[in-house]
């Protein structure tokens, strides 16, 4: 299906993007200007003062997460960078009746409101402030009545609403009229003729009825042309044909009739970019579709047309071929045209600097609108002291003009409000769709929604447009927690960029991407309980907030990982001296408000210390979840420890076998040996060991489920004569037998700090005189060990109760205190754990439905996703290690002269 999109403003671009990415449509975009984007226009201005070029947006400048949800979704999908902006407002006007002057602004709080000193003593001014509060209540009541009673008359004008509710002339002239004139860029005297329902709906939906707690406004960091370029790149990558400087002149229907808009078949895509301008002088509609004729005589044929232009322009192109319904409905949308200047003339700003704001209404409400936008504030221009100003309809030509142009904006009249309800009568009826910002409130979000909706209707798809999210309004306690958390993050995060995007509201940004940390993470905060949890429980509160769905990430795959990497980088950047760190523990959480929770969690951890009776309960809580569950993310061998990858694309199963073989090689196992494995898991090492060497093997576990699985796999392999398992604690292993080799792979993390010496004492008593002991374990840096063992964390609380990662020094101190063992070989394979954990996470998420079918819930899913990425970040940042250590006793000549096999030998380097 060939589709022509007429107009490359936001509506046309959105329609083309939706058609192209859906596939099956060959899309051509026509734009009469030599650039795309419509009101999204960026210009480069030479700033003589700063001797530099400044990029400035002249049309589309600001948006927010509450009232622009579809725009934000589009931008995030395109990878558009955003930053905080300002949407303050000021009035500097002569009041019609008295001729007195009123000036005030919202940017600087009380000093802005009282920018004109006489405001403080003006009863009319303070009455206006009270009426602003009254206006909110009256507007909400009016909208509720009309929405609950669709038959109520919606023809009432704003002026009629104001008069019927008894608002003062001062309120009209110093507040309401200026605001509406600024929003719709229309003459002041026409404001009171607007549709009351339309204006009040807009004010409610855009949170303009409240003085405080309005949504935070944003702007495109690289200016609006950066998003337009991204859209163009995507369109071209999907094969869209783009024709700039091509103005459509007319549309005519042939005698053959019209195409059926609802029944065409789709044609595969195939496009090319036209780089030279051509003027389109006609479109002819045949039974088979539309023919576009270019002035040089060339023709293009299309099956469908989408008009992404102003309503009057669409009617002009249709000419005599416009139907009665199209003339009636589209003709109801009227526009106001404004002269616009880009300049730096300060006389077109409020007299008092305290009143200077982003939007500034000037002049009198009895004359045409004059609005000045302060671009330095709106677009965060800090490189110059020169004010860059855009003024609509100034009373005189400004000084220091950089650029002049004109623009148009739809007027929210009663007729337009009624016509917007009837648009569905003309959409697609004869193969033509109409879209534009005029179909909503006249802004970028409205244009995007109209374009996307037109394309989806053309494709016969259900609309998936987002509705405005409810603005997140925290309680007093939550607001206090938010203040505390944001202040803490502002001080704590200095490297990397952490961004919090509140549901339908504010954005906070901390730190910046740099050489020390190039990572960025953008969180979506869905519930203010996020702040309360973090403020009162610190890192465990962060985990709990994620588990409960109080926040998520824009980047669903890398967001959580990047968050941890940023926190790790800043923890290390802000680390105290080693002596101070040694004095830290549960009593010194990063947030002092989390002290009570820190004590609670540490006491809970202490209660789970690994005595013989408690250890079995701790192990069962994790490993007895079900063998089927673990099989959904582990490799087929069910190996639950760090793999070793020869290449990045090596399978997890092959990498696990490689690790197991390395442990066997390091242990120098021979056929006549009897090997003990402390922590046998699901038996993967046992089976490989016996197959590879023919030795005898004994393994112990405390997990009933692991034991059942391992025994079954051994029976299936026919190795019962060589392999035996025991369900017992390492402290309960009979000491009558000595083992030639002992292997323990990632079991000692469940021993606990207090029992490390006991563990090595048991190994000493069980190992033959010339035996070899191979230990693999996850390690924590020595500088953090004391603080870590004296506090709880996510892993101890949610994953491995009673667990404790040892430092390398703790291992060697326990070795020397409780045994005659010495270290023969040591190797850190920790960098292999990151890809291991990522593959586990990917397998886990790919099998999410199967895991839920086992009876687990969404919170469980998030706990385990958090667990995998929490650990992965530690290994990716190299702040966690994974050691393989070979122990023996002095004088052991069984080690031989060939040395210990290492990872470097295995990889052939």
Q: Which two tokens stand for residue 714?
A: 């051994």
Percentage of the residues of the chain whose pLDDT score is greater than 90: 59
CA distances from 613 to 213, 537, 585, 701 (A): 55, 30, 27, 14
The burial of 560, by beta-carbon neighbours within 10 Å (0-12 exposed, 13-18 middle, 19 or more buried), is given as buried
The burial of 376, by beta-carbon neighbours within 10 Å (0-12 exposed, 13-18 middle, 19 or more buried), is given as buried
How much is the pLDDT for 188?
A: 62
How much is the pLDDT for 276?
A: 39
**Comparing C-alpha atoms, which of 13, 138, 863, 72 is closest to residue 502?**
72
Assign 187 to helix, strand or coil.
coil
* φ, ψ of residue 773 in degrees (nearest 5): -120, 125
Instruction: Give, to the nearest 10 degrees, the angle between helix 858-876 and helix 529-547.
Output: 90
d(CA 603, CA 606) in angstroms, rounded, equals 5
Active site residue: 102, 435, 680, 871, which one?
Answer: 871
Q: What is the pLDDT of residues 846-864, one digit of tens each?
A: 999 999 999 999 999 999 9
Q: What is the pLDDT of residues 20-31, one digit of tens each?
A: 998 889 999 999
Quick check: 255 pLDDT over 50? no
- The beta-strand segments (E) located in 195-302 are 217-220, 241-244, 251-253, 280-286, 289-294, 299-302
d(CA 654, CA 629) in angstroms, rounded, equals 21
Q: What is the pLDDT of residues 300-314, one digit of tens each?
A: 888 899 999 999 999
Q: Cβ atoms within 10 A of the Cβ of 287, count?
A: 12
Of 257-266, 455-464, 741-750, minimum mean pLDDT range: 257-266
Pick the more confident residue, 154 or 480.
480
State the pLDDT confidence band at 574, using cuts at 50, 70 and 90: confident
**Max avg pLDDT among 375-384, 496-505, 721-730:** 721-730
Assign 5 to helix, strand or coil.
strand
How much is the pLDDT for 906?
A: 57
Beta bridge partners of 264: none
Across residues 729-736, what is the average pLDDT?
A: 93
Q: Cβ atoms within 10 A of the Cβ of 233, count?
A: 11
Strands 26-31 and 2-6 come out as parallel
Pick the more confident residue, 210 or 122.
122
How much is the pLDDT for 312?
A: 94
How much is the pLDDT for 278?
A: 47
In sequence order, which ranges of 168-219 are alpha helices (DSSP H)?
169-171, 177-184, 196-205
Task: Output the average pLDDT for the chain.
Answer: 88
Residue pair 294/280 in contact by the 8 Å Cβ criterion: yes
Quick check: 98 pLDDT over 60? yes
Assign 161 to helix, strand or coil.
helix
Q: What is the pLDDT of residues 770-813, one digit of tens each?
A: 999 999 999 999 999 998 998 889 999 999 999 999 999 999 99
State the pLDDT confidence band at 587, using cuts at 50, 70 and 90: low
Beta bridge partners of 282: 293
How much is the pLDDT for 213?
A: 61
Q: Which two tokens stand for residue 136?
A: 């909110």
Assign 612 to helix, strand or coil.
helix
In sequence order, which ranges of 493-587 are alpha helices (DSSP H)?
529-547, 559-573, 578-581
Across residues 665-691, what is the average pLDDT?
A: 97
Quick check: 380 pLDDT over 70? yes
Quick check: 471 pLDDT over 70? no
d(CA 382, CA 38) in angstroms, rounded, equals 27
Quick check: 247 pLDDT over 90? no
Assign 778 to helix, strand or coil.
strand
Quick check: 724 pLDDT over 50? yes
Across residues 810-838, what is the average pLDDT?
A: 97
Pick the more confident residue, 181 or 143.
143
How much is the pLDDT for 321?
A: 85
How much is the pLDDT for 290?
A: 78
d(CA 293, CA 302) in angstroms, rounded, equals 11
**Comparing C-alpha atoms, which of 124, 123, 125 is closest to residue 113?**
125
Q: What is the pLDDT of residues 338-371, one digit of tens each?
A: 889 999 999 999 999 999 999 999 876 566 678 9
Sequence-ordered list of residues with C-beta below 8 angstroms from that of 51, at least 6 positions apart, any chain:
none
**Comparing C-alpha atoms, which of 2, 13, 68 is closest to residue 309?**
13
Quick check: 132 pLDDT over 80? yes
Q: What is the pTM of this model?
A: 0.74
Q: Which two tokens stand for residue 74?
A: 């589009």
How much is the pLDDT for 310?
A: 95
State the pLDDT confidence band at 288, using cuts at 50, 70 and 90: low
User: How many CA atoms lie within 13 Å of 380's alpha carbon, on the beta-carbon side?
Assistant: 13
Q: What is the pLDDT of residues 382-409, one digit of tens each?
A: 878 899 999 988 989 999 999 998 888 8
d(CA 380, CA 389) in angstroms, rounded, equals 13
Residue pair 30/5 in contact by the 8 Å Cβ criterion: yes
Q: ∠ at Cα 276 (275, 278), nearest 5°?
A: 125
DSSP codes joined into one string, 354-410: GG--SEEEEEETTS--EEEEEHHHHTT--S-SSPPEEEES-SSPPSSEEEEEEEEEE
Sequence-ordered list of residues with C-beta below 8 angstroms from that of 291, at least 6 positions apart, any chain:
283, 284, 285, 299, 300, 301, 302
DSSP codes joined into one string, 77-124: HHT--EEE----EEEEEE-TTT--EEEEESTTHHHHHTSSGGGGG-HH
How much is the pLDDT for 667?
A: 96
Residue pair 884/807 in contact by the 8 Å Cβ criterion: no
Q: Which two tokens stand for residue 264?
A: 């065409």
How much is the pLDDT for 232?
A: 96
- Is there a catalytic annotation at residue 728? no
Quick check: 152 pLDDT over 60? yes
Residue pair 183/205 in contact by the 8 Å Cβ criterion: no
Q: Which two tokens stand for residue 143?
A: 């909208």
Across residues 637-649, what is the average pLDDT?
A: 96
How much is the pLDDT for 165?
A: 93
Q: Which two tokens stand for residue 383?
A: 């490189």
State the pLDDT confidence band at 265, using cuts at 50, 70 and 90: very low
Q: Which two tokens stand for residue 405?
A: 């142009």
Strands 359-364 and 335-343 come out as unpaired
Quick check: 222 pLDDT over 50? yes
Quick check: 115 pLDDT over 50? yes
Of 225-239, 754-768, 884-898, minimum mean pLDDT range: 884-898
**Comparing C-alpha atoms, which of 558, 407, 541, 555 is closest to residue 481?**
541
Q: Cβ atoms within 10 A of the Cβ of 164, count?
A: 12
How much is the pLDDT for 429?
A: 85
Quick check: 426 pLDDT over 90? yes
DSSP codes joined into one string, 441-479: TSSHHHHHHHHHHHHHHHHTPPP-PPPPPPP----HHHH
Q: What is the pLDDT of residues 538-561, one digit of tens each?
A: 999 999 999 999 999 989 999 999
d(CA 651, CA 494) in angstroms, rounded, equals 38
Assign 687 to helix, strand or coil.
helix
Instruction: Give, to the nearest 10 degrees, the angle between helix 529-547 and helix 595-607.
Output: 30
């Amino acid at each position: 299906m060939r589709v022509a999109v007429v107009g490359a403003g936001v509506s046309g671009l959105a329609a083309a993007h939706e058609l192209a990415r859906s596939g099956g449509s060959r899309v051509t975009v026509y734009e009469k200007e030599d650039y795309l984007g419509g009101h999204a226009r960026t210009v480069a201005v030479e700033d003589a003062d700063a001797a530099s070029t400044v990029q400035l947006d002249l049309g589309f400048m600001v948006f927010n997460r509450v009232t622009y949800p579809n725009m934000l979704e589009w931008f995030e999908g395109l990878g558009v960078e955003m930053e905080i902006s300002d949407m303050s407002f000021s009035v500097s006007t002569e009041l019609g009746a008295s001729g007195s002057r009123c000036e005030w602004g919202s940017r600087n709080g009380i000093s802005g409101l009282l920018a004109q000193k006489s405001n403080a003593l003006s009863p009319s001014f303070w009455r206006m402030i009270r009426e602003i509060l009254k206006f909110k209540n009256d507007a909400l009541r009016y909208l509720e009545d009309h929405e609950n009673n669709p038959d109520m008359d919606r023809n009432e004008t704003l002026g009629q609403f104001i008069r019927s509710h008894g608002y003062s002339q001062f309120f009209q002239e110093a507040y309401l009229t200026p605001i509406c004139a600024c929003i719709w860029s229309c003459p002041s005297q026409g404001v009171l003729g607007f549709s009351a329902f339309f204006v009040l709906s807009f004010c409610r939906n855009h949170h303009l009825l409240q003085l405080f707690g309005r949504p935070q406004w944003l702007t495109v960091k690289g200016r609006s042309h950066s998003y337009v370029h991204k859209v163009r790149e995507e369109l071209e990558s999907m094969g869209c044909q783009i024709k700039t400087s091509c103005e459509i002149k007319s549309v005519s229907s042939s005698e053959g009739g019209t195409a059926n808009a609802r029944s065409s078949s789709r044609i595969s895509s195939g496009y090319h970019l036209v780089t030279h301008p051509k003027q389109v002088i006609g479109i002819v509609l045949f039974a088979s579709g539309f023919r576009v004729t270019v002035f040089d005589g060339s023709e293009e044929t299309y099956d469908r047309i989408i008009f992404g232009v102003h309503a009057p322009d669409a009617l002009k192109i249709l000419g005599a071929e416009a139907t009665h319904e199209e003339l009636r409905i589209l003709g109801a949308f009227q526009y106001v045209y404004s002269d616009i200047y880009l300049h730096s003339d300060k006389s077109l700003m409020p007299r008092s600097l305290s009143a200077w704001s982003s939007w500034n209404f000037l002049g009198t409400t009895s004359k045409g609108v004059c609005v000045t936008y302060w671009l330095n504030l709106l677009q965060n221009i800090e490189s110059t002291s020169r004010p860059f100003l855009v003024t609509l309809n100034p009373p005189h030509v400004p000084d220091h003009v950089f650029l002049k142009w004109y623009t148009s904006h739809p007027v929210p009249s009663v007729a337009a409000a009624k016509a917007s309800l009837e648009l569905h009568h003309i959409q697609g009826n004869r193969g033509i769709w109409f879209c534009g910002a005029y179909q909503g409130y006249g802004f970028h979000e409205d244009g995007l929604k109209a374009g996307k909706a037109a394309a989806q209707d053309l494709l016969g798809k259900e609309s998936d447009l987002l509705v405005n999210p409810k603005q997140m309004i925290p309680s007093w306690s939550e607001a206090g927690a938010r203040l505390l958390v944001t202040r803490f993050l502002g001080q704590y995060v200095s490297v990397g960029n952490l961004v919090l995007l509140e549901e339908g509201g504010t954005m906070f940004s901390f730190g910046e991407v740099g050489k020390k940390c190039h990572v960025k993470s953008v969180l979506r905060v869905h519930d203010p309980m996020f702040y309360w949890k973090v403020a009162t429980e610190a890192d465990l509160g962060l985990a709990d907030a994620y588990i409960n769905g109080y926040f998520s990430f824009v980047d669903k795959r890398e967001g959580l990982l990047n968050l941890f990497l940023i926190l790790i980088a800043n923890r290390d950047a802000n680390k105290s001296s080693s002596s101070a760190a040694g004095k830290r523990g549960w009593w010194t959480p990063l947030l002092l408000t989390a002290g009570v929770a820190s004590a609670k969690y540490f006491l809970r951890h202490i209660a789970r210390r690994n005595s013989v009776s408690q250890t079995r309960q701790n192990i069962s809580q994790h490993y007895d979840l079900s063998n089927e569950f673990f099989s959904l993310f582990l490799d087929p061998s069910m190996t639950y420890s760090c793999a070793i990858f020869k290449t990045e694309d090596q399978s997890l199963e092959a990498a696990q076998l490689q690790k197991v073989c390395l442990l066997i090689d390091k242990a120098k196992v021979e056929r006549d040996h009897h090997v003990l494995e402390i922590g046998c898991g699901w038996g993967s090492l046992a089976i490989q060991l016996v197959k590879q060497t023919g030795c005898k093997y004994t393994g112990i576990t405390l997990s009933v489920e692991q034991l059942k699985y391992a025994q079954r796999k051994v029976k299936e392999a026919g190795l019962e004569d060589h392999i035996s398992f025991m369900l017992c604690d390492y402290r309960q292993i009979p000491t009558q037998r000595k083992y030639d080799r002992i292997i323990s792979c990632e079991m000692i993390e469940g021993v606990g700090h207090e029992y490390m010496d006991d563990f090595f004492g048991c190994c000493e008593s069980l190992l033959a005189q010339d035996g070899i002991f191979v230990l693999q374990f996850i390690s924590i840096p020595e500088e953090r060990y004391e603080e870590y063992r004296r506090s709880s964390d996510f892993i101890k609380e949610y994953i491995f109760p009673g667990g404790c990662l040892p430092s390398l020094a703790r291992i060697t101190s326990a070795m020397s205190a409780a045994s005659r063992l010495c270290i023969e070989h040591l190797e850190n394979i920790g960098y292999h754990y990151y890809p291991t954990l990522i593959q586990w996470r990917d397998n886990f998420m790919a099998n999410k439905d199967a895991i839920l079918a086992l009876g687990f819930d969404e919170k469980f899913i998030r706990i385990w996703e958090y667990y995998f990425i929490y650990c992965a970040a530690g290994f990716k940042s190299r702040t966690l290690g994974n050691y393989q250590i070979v122990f023996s006793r002095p004088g052991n000549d069984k080690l031989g002269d060939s040395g210990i096999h290492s990872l470097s030998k295995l990889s052939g380097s």
